[in-house]
Amino acid sequence: MNRDERVVRELVSAHGRTYAEEAGIRLRDTPQPLYRLLVLSLLLSARIRASVAVAAARALHEDRLDSPRRMAEAGRQRRVDALGRGGYRRYDERTATQLGDGAELLTERWGGDLRRLHREAAGDTGALRELLQEEPGIGPAGADIFLREAQRVWPDIAPYLDGKALSGAGRLGLPEDPHKLAELAGDTQPAALAAALVRAALDRQVAEDCLRRAA
């Protein structure tokens, strides 16, 4: 095993849990978990701690706001209250509005089913990324978060390693090329690899600890 393979192994072993897993989402290619992932991606894309975004996603699920229909019907104040219980207060008013508007758009355009959006992109990952950004509150960062996680159940887009993940690779002295990184990771699920690389990008200590263990 060469140096880069050791680094990837150590990184994924310590930090390869996806954000969907942290939020309690059992990701499958079915409407509800995909919608929950979209909501989580919106929350994570704000300038707020990932742990708070994950807690807020859990709180929305606990309040049964886990489908576009329920989210749209809930009313803005109920969404604000659920976000608050998750500690997501800095952007709660704006985010509550975006969640309601996004749920309505998803229902009207794709029947509440993100698999239809996936099919509309017809295998074009760039088109898929653009379609996701039609959802209120989902910008480039949110679309990248969604696709990094969704590649677990949409293997046609894998390996999806965006700029944030590749910056983590650079910090670790790894190749900043998605296919080379996937080769180094071997049988590791690309979504787990992406999550681990993002954590290295966000936290210098994660990278330093990994490099020390791999030395």
Q: CA-to-CA distance for 158 and 85, rounded, in angstroms?
A: 35
Q: Residue 62: what pLDDT? A: 97
Q: Residue 6: what pLDDT? A: 96
Give the residues of the chain that fall short of pLDDT 70.
none
Q: Residue 152: what pLDDT? A: 97
pTM, whole model, 2 decimals? 0.96
Give the DSSP H or E segment for 44: helix 31-44
> What one-letter code names the amino acid at 13?
S
Q: Evaluate whether 60 touches 98 at the Cβ level (below 8 Å).
A: no
The per-residue pLDDT for range 73-131, each reduced to its tens digit, is 999 999 999 999 999 988 889 999 999 999 999 999 999 999 999 999 999 999 999 99
Query: Dihedral (C-alpha) 165, 149, 5, 179: value to the nearest 10 degrees?
Result: -70
